[in-house]
A and B are shown apart, each in its own frame.
Chain A
Amino acid sequence: MSSALATEGTTRFLLASQPISRRVVVVCGVLALVLVGVMIISAAHGPANIPYADVARLILRGLGFQTGLELPDSQFAIVNQVRLPRILVGALVGAALACSGATMQGIFRNPLADPGIIGVSAGGSLGAVIAISTGLVGESLWMLPLFSFVGAIGATTLVYLLSLVRGQSQPATLLLAGVALNSFLGALISAILLFSNRYPEVQAILSWLIGSLRGRGWAYFFAIVAPVILTTGLLFFFARDMNLLLLGEESAQGLGVNVPRTRFALLALAALSTGAAVSVVGPIGFVGLVVPHMLRLVIGPDYRLLLPASALGGALFLVTTDTVARLILQPAELQVGIITALLGAPFFLYLLYRNRRLIRVL
């Protein structure tokens, strides 16, 4: 037995010998409980200090129950209109990004793949930057998400079409087309930034490019709840196919996977899911790359477990980091995109270091 398994791999090792159905229940159960716990903590903390009991009453009041206790309207607004929708949007976005990331890593059989690799984030960013720099953001709340979503899907479609060889999309060409388009779009964004001489505009663009959950109210939640749950749910549908894809195209096909069709479906779902997420919060980095890897180190690569765990883990990661972003400098706040990288990178490096003997089996 390889000594690599001796300590760090133990959890994973023990779990792997259990039937998959049991592992899904145990792992997802634990993650869901932790997620609910973090959500409660997040809802109860912020620049405004509101006791847990009052937070509970305020939420009940928000749900239409009578609590019999008079609490200030401002607290009601803080809990029900600021914190709750923000937490839920964060959870949805985190789930979408992590699941899409896991999917991309499967499609490309490449641990470095993330949702941005096929141009979703860059396309979404360009769309948003155009909306900001043309002043269209002022027209309606939905201009920016709309432009961003169109940009995200447009860029991905372009990458996909460019990668077609004899009517089929090959991962290698897809990857290269993605890299090329990403730098092209990045250059366009930089050009717009440089030509924009209005400081607030530049600041708005930069701040969007880092990614933030600030000010994401119920309207944003309702805008993405259906697309994210739908696309993520459909990804679960392909969980076993993704396992087989990890074995290589031929093995997968030999085991009954219609590889071109499956690959297209997965790309489309991941792009839609990421596009929806990016369009409301900006291209928050790191979640899609790191969350699936962190989970793989513990629970292994089986997508039937990894996908639901990534959804919960991504939600947990983003809600946690956003809570930190809100609290660390309070009453001022940081953008969550900074915290995901600031917290995520070292934590990931720590995991890599502890599991360095297992890295080759990532």
Chain B
Amino acid sequence: MSHKKRLYTLLIPFLLLMLVLGACSQPAAQPAEEEAPATEEVMEEATEEVAGEEAPAAEEAAEEAEAPAEEAAGEEAVEEEAFSVTVTDGLGNEVTLDARPMRIASATLGTDEILLDLVGPERLIAVTNLASDPTISNIADRPELEQIENQVEADPEQIIALEPDLVFVASFTDPAVIEQLQGAGVPVFVMGFFNSIDSIEQNILTIGELVGEPERAEEIVADMNATLDEVAAQVAEMEGEPPTALYLSSGGWVAGSATTVDDIITRAGGVNAAADLVDWNQVSEETIIEMDPDVVILSPYVTDEEFVDNPVFAGLSAVVNERVFVANDAHLSAVSQYVALGVEDVFEMLYLVPVSE
């Protein structure tokens, strides 16, 4: 008797939980239904398809239902019928889409920047809340940003509620979050960790393929390369030893080799003073004094006391020659096409001449 009673009490939280879940999912589905029944159908199919991997019968049913939905989508219908793409994401997992993604949610700043140029605001239902922060985002002042309704964090509930058909997260996103998103049947593309401009370009091309915009992706990469070539041409004209440069962030963190910053400095015609170190490293002031770079590029978070007004660094060549610059971190820390702007920035710091257009 008492055992049974205890079992029932155990059930109560579950029942409550189900009630809450039911109540939550309801309003999210509601507006979509009212606005455009056709899109809603497409969405349902998408979810069914993923869920149907184990049940071929359901898959067939979904395929049958596909036809009217495509008609509703209009002139793109023909293209979409052929749409099937499989790419490998940053974690080495295959991501397969059988329909052109129309409700894309981006949960990393890098993909915010790439996708806004790649697919535009119409197919982006969410970007990160970092996208509107001008200190780190390259798209903060873009008017299209306002058309994107949602600003999200890597929160599975928030994202699933938006009913996206493709989600972009980063390699540093909590694996449990990724697991939950995948469990909800949403295709997830995990952005890898990128530490060179080439890898960023490759990444843009992969994402372009996944979202069905390979030509646009190639255009973007071509633009980047044009900028890089421009800089390279000007670097080639420079005489003498290439200047050494050090990128210094708050707390003594410097960018060593195998970092994007290292690639940026190299492409801008400089030598990374911290190239002996691999990856990001915290170094003591004496290490910086020993490096004695020609140019110091400070992250905007470095306080004056920490470097400019620090008596320890008064004798550095870069300080004596007034070659200390504060970086535009949006450019230098970009993992999108905007990283090319970082190369321009650094070139100007190294050679004190503007990049000719």
Chains A, B in direct contact (C-beta < 8 Å): yes
Q: Which residues of A contact B314 (CB under 8 A)?
A: 77
Among B253, B282, B310, which residue has its beta carbon within 8 angstroms of that of A217?
B310
Docked pose: A74 CA to B315 CA in angstroms: 7
Closest chain-A Cβ to B277's Cβ sits at a distance in Å of: 6
CA distance A333 to B314 in the complex (A): 22
Would you call B76 an interface residue if the criterion is a C-beta within 8 Å of the partner chain's C-beta atoms?
A: no
B299 at the interface (CB under 8 A from A): yes
Q: Please determine whether B286 and A47 come into contact, CB atoms closer than 8 angstroms.
A: yes
B290 at the interface (CB under 8 A from A): yes
Min C-beta distance of B253 to chain A, whole Å: 7
Given A141-B305, A200-B299; A215-B250 close (CB under 8 Å): no
B282 near A78 (CB under 8 angstroms)?
Answer: no
B281 in contact with A332 (CB, 8 Å):
yes
A-B pairs, top 7 by smallest CB distance, nearest first, are A332-B281, A141-B305, A78-B286, A200-B301, A331-B287, A47-B287, A82-B286
Asked whether A48 lies within 8 Å of B277 as measured between CB atoms, the reply is no
Q: Which of A121-129, A201-209, A305-313, A342-350 contacts B (4 or more CB under 8 A)?
A: A201-209
Interface of B (DSSP majority class): loop
User: When chains A and B are docked, how far (Å) is the Cα of A316 from the Cα of B292?
Assistant: 32
Q: Specify the chain A residue showing the minimal Cβ separation from B281.
A: A332
Chain A residues near B292: list those with CB within 8 A: 74
The closest CB in chain A to the CB of B130 belongs to: A197
- From known contacts A77-B289, A215-B285, infer whether A82 and B251 are also in contact, taking CB-CB under 8 Å: no
B319 CB to closest chain A CB (Å) equals 11
Residues 89-131 of B contacting A (Cβ, < 8 Å): 129-130
A204 with B286, Cβ < 8 A, contacts A74-B292, A332-B277 known = no
B210-234: which residues lie under 8 A (CB-CB) from chain A?
A: none
B-side contacts of A217, CB under 8 Å: 310-312
Q: Which residues of A contact B277 (CB under 8 A)?
A: 331-332
A-B pairs with beta carbons under 8 Å apart, 6 shown? A47-B286, A74-B290, A83-B286, A197-B153, A215-B284, A332-B277
A157-213 interface with B by 8 A CB criterion: 197-198, 200-201, 203-204, 207, 212
B25 at the interface (CB under 8 A from A): no
Q: Is the CB of A203 within 8 A of B284?
A: no
Interface 1/0 per residue, A68-87 and B, CB below 8 Å: 00000110011001110000
Residue of A whose beta carbon sits closest to that of B277 = A332
Any B CB within 8 A of the CB of A260: no
- Number of interface residues, chain A, beta carbon within 8 A: 33
B284 touches A46 (CB 8 A): yes
Question: In the complex, which residues of chain B have a beta carbon less than 8 angstroms from the beta carbon of A83?
Answer: 286
Assess whether A225 is interfacial by the CB under 8 Å rule.
no
Could you tell me which residues of chain A, from 310 to 347, have a CB within 8 Å of some CB in chain B? 326, 329-335
**Residue contact A74 to B289, C-beta cutoff 8 Å:** yes
Cβ A48 vs Cβ B285 within 8 A: no
* B276 at interface by CB-CB < 8 Å: yes
- Contacting pair B253 A203 (CB below 8 A): yes
Chain B 261-293 interface mask (CB, 8 Å, partner A; 1/0) = 000000000000000110001111111011010
A92 to chain B, nearest CB (A): 19
Q: Hey, which chain B residues are within 8 Å of A215, CB to CB? A: 252, 284-285, 306, 310, 312
Give the contacting residue for A333; candidates B135, B284, B289; CB below 8 A.
B284
B38 within 8 A of A: no
Q: Is A37's CB within 8 Å of the partner chain B? A: no
Q: Which residues of A contact B173 (CB under 8 A)?
A: none
- Chain B minimum-CB-distance residue to A47: B287
Question: Residue A82 contacts which of B153, B253, B282, B289 (CB distance < 8 angstroms)?
Answer: B289
Query: How many Å lie between the Cα of A217 and that of B129 in the bound state?
Result: 38
**CB < 8 Å: which of A73, A77, A78, A138 contacts B303?**
A138
B residues in contact with A246, CB < 8 Å: none
Note all chain B residues with C-beta closer than 8 A to A56. Answer: none
Distance between Cα atoms of A217 and B283 in the complex (Å): 15
A43-54 interface bits toward B, Cβ cutoff 8 Å, 1 = contact, 0 = none: 000111000000
Task: Please tell me if B249 contacts chain A, counting CB pairs below 8 Å.
Answer: yes
Give complex CA distance A140, B289 in Å. Answer: 23
Cβ–Cβ < 8 Å partners of A332 in chain B: 277, 281-283, 287
Partner of A204, one of B130, B251, B304, B310: B251
Q: How far in angstroms is the closest Cβ of chain B from A114?
A: 26
Q: Is the CB of B286 within 8 A of A207?
A: no
The CA of A261 and the CA of B282, in the complex, are separated in Å by: 46
A12 within 8 A of B: no
How close is B292's CB to chain A, nearest CB, in angstroms? Answer: 7
In the complex formed, the residue of B with least CB distance to A83 is B286
- Distance (whole angstroms) from the CB of A292 to the closest CB of chain B: 29
Q: Is B136 an interface residue (CB 8 A)?
A: yes
Chain B, residues 64-78, CB within 8 Å of chain A (1/0): the string is 000000000000000
| A residues near B299, Cβ cutoff 8 Å | 200
How many angstroms between the C-alpha atoms of A54 and B88 in the bound complex?
57
B residues 287-327 touching A (CB-CB < 8 Å): 287, 289-290, 292, 299, 301, 303-306, 310-312, 314-315
Residues on A with beta carbons closer than 8 Å to the beta carbon of B289: 48, 74, 77-78, 82
Looking at A200, A217, A334, the one whose CB has the most chain B CB atoms below 10 A away is: A200
A214 within 8 A of B: yes
Within the complex, what minimum Cβ distance (angstroms) separates A24 from chain B?
36
- Given the complex, which residues of A lie within 8 Å of B133, measured CB to CB? 197-198
In the bound assembly, the distance between CA atoms of A138 and B301 in angstroms comes to 8
A326 near B130 with CB under 8 A, answer no
Chain A min CB distance to B249 (Å): 6
CA distance A138 to B308 in the complex (A): 12
| Cβ contacts B227-252/A at 8 Å (1 or 0 each) | 00000000000000000000001111
A137 within 8 A of B: yes
Taking a contact as CB atoms closer than 8 A, the residue among B136, B153, B251 that contacts A198 in the complex is B136
Q: Which of A48, A81, A200 interacts with B312 by CB under 8 Å?
A: A81
Mark each residue of chain A from 216 to 231: 1 if its CB lies under 8 Å from any CB of chain B, else 0.
Answer: 0100000000000000
Q: Which residues of A contact B301 (CB under 8 A)?
A: 200-201, 204
A81 to B315, CA, bound (A): 11
Partner of B284, one of A138, A141, A214: A214
The distance in angstroms between the C-alpha atoms of A83 and B286, with both chains bound, is 8
CB B126 to nearest CB in A, in angstroms, measures 15
Query: Which residues does chain A contribute within 8 Å of B312, judged by CB atoms?
Result: 77, 81-82, 215, 217
9 additional A-B residue pairs with CB within 8 Å, beyond A81-B311, A198-B136, A333-B283: A47-B283, A48-B289, A77-B314, A78-B286, A82-B286, A82-B289, A217-B310, A217-B311, A331-B281
The reply to whether A331 and B282 contact each other, CB–CB distance below 8 Å, is: no
Alpha-carbon separation in the docked complex, A333 to B277 (Å): 11
